[in-house]
Chain A
Amino acid sequence: MTPRRHLFTVFRHTVLLLWTLVVLFPIGWMVMTSFKDSGDWVSWPARWVPFVDFEPTLLNYRQIFYFGGSTDTGALRREQTEQAYNIWKAAFDSVVIVTVSSVVSLLLGSTLAYAISRFRTGGKNYPYTILTIRMLPPIVVAIPMLIYFASLPEAFTWLVGRRVEFFDTYYGLTLLYIVTTLPYVIWMMLAFIDEVPRELEHAARLMGASRLTTIRKVVFPLVASGMAVTLLFVFILNWSEFLLALTLSQPKVLTLPVLLNKFQSAVEGRLYGPQAAIGTVVTIPVVVLGFLIQKHLVKGFSFGMIRR
């Protein structure tokens, strides 16, 4: 190792460690706060060392896991009540809605990306046009969506003789999440599918496979890691979505970001402890998921902008 190289290694690790600190600091603080009692959430100087500066407690976790909702900043214990919501309910709803919408979005988007890649479906500009969807700030559509969702049941009654509710239902939110993530699915999958040689498909089709079989047996397996990456990406987007859920769901359907917003206390303000606890809890699954597919991640995010 030459001295210059050595110097570079030192420089590299210094910079990277610095950023590691920047990244871990807020997360660490959140985890720490989740173990603090209310008096320690906000205090000057800040309380750092567990058992020395503050007495760790599971109160926050007990609160979120048993009941949901919130209480005074002082006394946290509360009898278990028949709450419409708790973290389990929100977690269930989030998982169902986000999983279904992400998977459906992935399938629809991938198939369309295939068609675009192979036949220029929708014309040369289609991928760019579809990107417009992503530009719409959700607040722009949230209110019309509410009116629309409110009048859809009537429309359905009139059309098919059955009342179909959209407001505050699983599929209402699911459908919206599908649409809002489609642009990214199409873009990312287009990049992956463009890289699959057409001859592979030609070969399959000459050997007797139908187009659908070809896609299923040849194309999709080849872009599997790309699909995993795309799925993770739209999963994260949907998992985090706040504004549409806030406007168009509750009380029957409740997602985690919306639940988080409920942890408010006396007159107005935040229950940092339970918020930190729930934040810690909802972050873990996504981080684990990301960790599991980490090695695929690198492949996916150049959006096909570089051709090998």
Chain B
Amino acid sequence: MSGVRLDAIVKTFGKTEAVRGVSLDIADGEFVVFVGPSGCGKTTTLNIIAGLESPTSGQVYIGADRVTDWEPRDRNLGMVFQSLALFPHVTVFDNIAFPLRIKRMRAAAVAERVRAVAATVKVSHLLDKKPGTLSGGEAQRVALARTIVVQPAVFLMDEPLSSLDAKLRVEMRTELKRLHASLGATFIYVTHDQAEAMTMADRIVVMHLGQVQQVGAPLAVYGDPANRFVAGFFGVPAMNFIDGELRGDGDALVFESPAVRLELKGGEPLAARPVTLGVRPEHVRLTRDASGGRATVSLLEPLGDETLVFLEYGGAGSLVAKVDAEEALAVGDRRGFTFRRDRIVFFDTETGERILRS
């Protein structure tokens, strides 16, 4: 069992910089999820860990070994691919047995091991089939079986669930989590799906434009985003952003925009500067009065237990609030709204960096 360390990894393809200086420590046995929009460099980073691509500069360590120049096969990794990469020309059995045979394990031992692993992931009945005949979930399990059969120290997964339907995906999430627990190996998981990241990760690594934006536990990343990108990336629906100006006289901070004005207690004196206010929909409250501002309900999206309310509030776009489903609302209603003050975050409008982080 081993941890993985990335040290200032840079990868360029021609003129494009896919990864720009990623450094990261992943502890032994940790479940780390790389998340970010497509093209953010997360898959490249994963491939560099796997050895499928070599970094332009920087080093990769697995356990105590610097493996930057090692071939993939020497790194003792397991990997599940987005397409699963089952070999279509051989049976499920042969697929699972492939890595064992490569390691020149005796045939009897191979058979025994394959059957055992097939049983753990419940694909014993599929062993004689060809991958082309499997359902999505079955193929998924076979791919897992093929990966765990050699008991690698580190598991790499590149969006393995993306081809599954929604329900199956949720099931598999749980199963992967369970598998992680039982194997105790290091899992490095790449996805663009924030829900997967939130639900499975011990730690989330948010990547954007080839750089790590934030590393942290799921709730920390959600609740305490390091910048506007991270804040916007997590959460459905996305965080509300309101551009305005912030100034502080020592007693209070004042945020002012054409539609919203807020006064917050405390804080240091601050020269007026353009900022972006961020507040998640669940932290927007509707009131009967106009303590914060007034807005008109333009659209309602009931989710069942809660309802999303789209408000015309005088600023750009709409403000989204998540309210209890019981609340009686109709399109065209005029309401006041306020924000949960302790949950408001501010970003520098220009850089997107978080400011006034407490």
Contact = CB atoms under 8 A, between A and B. Distances in A.
B32 interface: no
Contacts of A213: 102
B150 A208 contact: yes
B73 interface: yes
A206 B79 contact: yes
B79 A203 contact: yes
B146 interface: yes
Given A222-B88, A222-B89, A202 B103 contact: no
A157 interface: no
Interface in B54-85: 71-73, 75, 77-79, 81-83, 85
Interface in A160-203: 197, 199-200, 202-203
Provide the main secondary structure of the chain A interface.
Answer: helix
Contact of B85 (A200, A221, A224): A200
Nearest to A220: B89
Nearest to A201: B85
A199 B72 contact: no
B102 A208 contact: yes
B50 interface: yes
A133 interface: no
Interface in A107-152: none
Given A221-B89, A222-B88, A222-B89, A206 B78 contact: yes
A204 B99 CA distance: 7
Contacts of B87: 200, 203-204, 218, 222
Nearest to A197: B83
Given A202-B50, A202-B85, A218-B87, A209 B102 contact: yes
Contacts of A210: 71, 73
Interface of B: 47, 50-52, 71-73, 75, 77-79, 81-83, 85, 87-90, 98-99, 102-103, 146, 150, 156
Given A202-B85, A210-B73, 8 more contacts: A202-B52, A202-B72, A202-B79, A205-B73, A206-B72, A207-B146, A208-B103, A209-B98
9 nearest interchain CB pairs? A207-B99, A199-B85, A203-B85, A208-B73, A199-B81, A208-B102, A205-B72, A206-B79, A209-B102
